[in-house]
């Protein structure tokens, strides 16, 4: 971090490479567009580079970066009139292992060509848009960003039972909307 502060571009590149896939995932999840995700992450990392002097290290670097990316996504969604997610509260987001990195979102990921199709993506996007803001936000925070029940509860200032309830409803609704794809398996 000190090297980045002093303008060391190689050190900055390492920082980018360490975190880019994770923040791109967050941005693609919210914006559903790789190009827009790249735009947002580019802007986020430039903000980081220019504002690295303001980073005090009270939270992890990734928490700081994640907050910037999520807020940029929210701004973009608002400007374009698309669904808006709840503002990010940087008081949360840590996985307790001290490296500032989030846990992987879930243990079930595996390559699956059918679910990687444009058709499924479009259907999934529509299903997400069909959720209420509250249900979609909890689903994305858990499923795509890797936050725990507790972190989501702190983030949204709700209790864990509400988090589980919203997550359950989001999953049920998505299951209903995507049933014909899921039953093919």
Part in contact with another protein (CB under 8 A); list of ranges 23-31, 63-71, 77-85, 151-159 = 23-31
- The Cα 103–Cα 149 span in angstroms is 13
- 5 binds another protein, rule: CB under 8 A: yes
- 167 binds another protein, rule: CB under 8 A: yes
Tokens of 112: 């699956």
- 21 binds another protein, rule: CB under 8 A: yes
Out of 75, 87, 112, 157, the only residue in the binding site for another protein (CB under 8 A) is 112
- 134 binds another protein, rule: CB under 8 A: no
- 86 binds another protein, rule: CB under 8 A: no
Out of 83, 124, 154, 162, the only residue in the binding site for another protein (CB under 8 A) is 124
Minimum CB separation from another protein for residue 22, in Å?
10
Tokens of 183: 């039953």
Tokens of 107: 């243990």
Which residues make Cβ contacts (< 8 Å) with residue 84, sequence separation at least 6?
A: 74, 77, 78, 133
- 13 binds another protein, rule: CB under 8 A: yes
- 53 binds another protein, rule: CB under 8 A: yes
| CA atoms within a 13 Å half-sphere pointing along the CA-CB vector of 51 | 14
Handedness of CA 90, 91, 96, 100 (dihedral sign): positive
């Amino acid at each position: 971090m000190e090297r980045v502060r002093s303008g060391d571009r190689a050190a900055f590149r390492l920082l980018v490479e360490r975190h880019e896939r994770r923040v791109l995932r967050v941005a693609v999840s919210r914006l559903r567009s790789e190009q827009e995700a790249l735009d947002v992450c580019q802007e986020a990392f430039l903000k980081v580079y220019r504002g690295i002097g303001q980073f005090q290290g009270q939270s992890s670097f990734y928490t700081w970066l994640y907050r910037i990316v999520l807020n940029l996504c929210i701004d973009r969604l608002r400007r374009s009139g698309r669904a808006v997610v709840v503002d990010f509260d940087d008081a949360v987001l840590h996985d307790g292992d001290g490296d500032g990195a989030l846990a992987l979102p879930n243990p079930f990921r595996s390559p699956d060509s059918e679910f990687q199709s444009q058709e499924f993506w479009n259907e999934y996007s529509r299903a997400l848009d069909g959720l209420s803001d509250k249900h979609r936000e909890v689903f994305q925070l858990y499923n795509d960003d890797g936050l725990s029940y507790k972190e989501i509860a702190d983030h949204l200032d709700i209790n864990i039972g509400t988090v589980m309830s919203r997550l359950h409803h989001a999953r049920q609704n998505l299951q209903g909307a995507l049933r014909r794809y899921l039953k093919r398996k």
